[in-house]
Amino acid sequence: MNPTLDSANLHALLQETGVPQVLERLDQELIGLAPVKGRIREIAAYLVVDRLRRDLGLVASRPVLHMAFTGNPGTGKTTVALRMATILHRLGYIRRDHLVVATRDDLVGQYIGHTAPKTKEVLKRAMGGVLFIDEAYSLYRSENERDYGQETIEILLQVMENQREDLVVILAGYRDKMEQFFTLNPGMRSRIAHHITFPDYTQEELIQIGLLMIGEQNYYLDPAASQAFAEYVACRMQLPNFANARSIRNAIDRFKLRQARRLFERGGQVSTEDLRRIAEEDIRGSQVFAECEKLVSPQSGVELRKGEDHAP
């Protein structure tokens, strides 16, 4: 223990590092996800206390910081990883506020001798920060004995153990597939300290997310369009390949395209209000309504009406 210090100022450390502001920003950026935000706050609190202990000379081994984020697409995993990188950097656990996102294609080669250089190049770029591996379960393909993903896993295991003071690895993917991945690769599971599950968004949360996205792009929905959007979300959640906030973002891009086509075809004078307003027809033009015309949303009980064209 440091003989010159017998206490530390928690408030001063929080002010110095700005960790509360990072957590507040995460709250503002992501709607819902209360369990995830709770776990991030818990980890941040643990690291702040660990930092205070080190400042007072209460030396212990460095915390293991590798993580696994499991959940469906579009649930905010990359955003949370970015904020976690900032927290780790501000508390001195990594050298850089830096996140490198990688997938199997970035790490695994196509032939003998190709994988190790690719994996090491990605690790080199991520060193000093956080490496976020999306769909990490795809690194291991047990059905293919000649697959080179196992070589990447072996390199990652070595780095996660021997260089954990200079790199934090976050593995992400579907929960069931990640569980199978860890079962087949117990060495990887043993190196993960924090497993965080990202729940799907509710219909109301998705509507809020969509309205936030629309507002940030300087658009708005008129009352009829707001109702159409609520029906759209209820229907889209029931269709295949739904990806939470990602699907909502893609849908908004299509709404904007239909709005632009409507204004273009109308011609004449166009006001600022015209350019900002998303109308009901811009939403009901989606093929989603045609696919759901015989369905009734279990959330709203609203009968869905047929779309006007076949745009997705």
Same domain, 86 and 183: yes
Same domain, 45 and 149: yes
Given this model, what pLDDT does residue 45 score? 93
Question: Quick check: 71 and 171 in contact, CB under 8 A?
Answer: no
Q: Which of 198, 224, 246 is the last residue before a domain boundary?
A: 198
Residue 67 DSSP class? E
Residue pLDDT, tens place only, 243-294: 999 999 999 999 999 999 999 999 889 999 999 999 999 999 999 998 987 6
Rounded to whole angstroms, the Cα distance separating 75 from 174 reads 11
- Over residues 19-37, the mean pLDDT reads 93
Question: What b/e readout covers 194-217, taking b as 16+ CB neighbours within 10 angstroms?
Answer: bbbebeebebebbbebbbebbeee
Domain that holds residue 218: 203-291
Question: Which CATH number characterizes residue 272's domain?
Answer: 1.10.8.60
pLDDT band at 295 (very low <50, low <70, confident <90, very high): low
Give the number of domains in the chain. Answer: 2
Same domain, 164 and 253: no
Q: Report CA-CA distances (Å) from 161 to 12, 65, 129, 208, 253.
A: 33, 11, 15, 41, 43
Question: Which CATH number characterizes residue 66's domain?
Answer: 3.40.50.300
Residue pLDDT, tens place only, 29-38: 899 999 999 9
Residue pLDDT, tens place only, 190-233: 999 999 999 999 999 999 999 999 999 999 999 999 999 999 99
Same domain, 183 and 222: no
Same domain, 141 and 233: no
More confident residue, 46 or 56: 46
Instruction: Look at residues 187, 176, 172 and name the one whose alpha carbon lies nearest to residue 136.
Output: 172
pLDDT at 153 over 50: yes
Residue pLDDT, tens place only, 160-179: 999 989 999 999 999 999 99
3-class DSSP assignment, residue 255: helix
Residue 261: inside a domain: yes
Residue 143: inside a domain: yes
Q: Report CA-CA distances (Å) from 264 to 83, 218, 221, 271, 279.
A: 41, 19, 19, 13, 14
Same domain, 232 and 96: no
Same domain, 23 and 116: yes
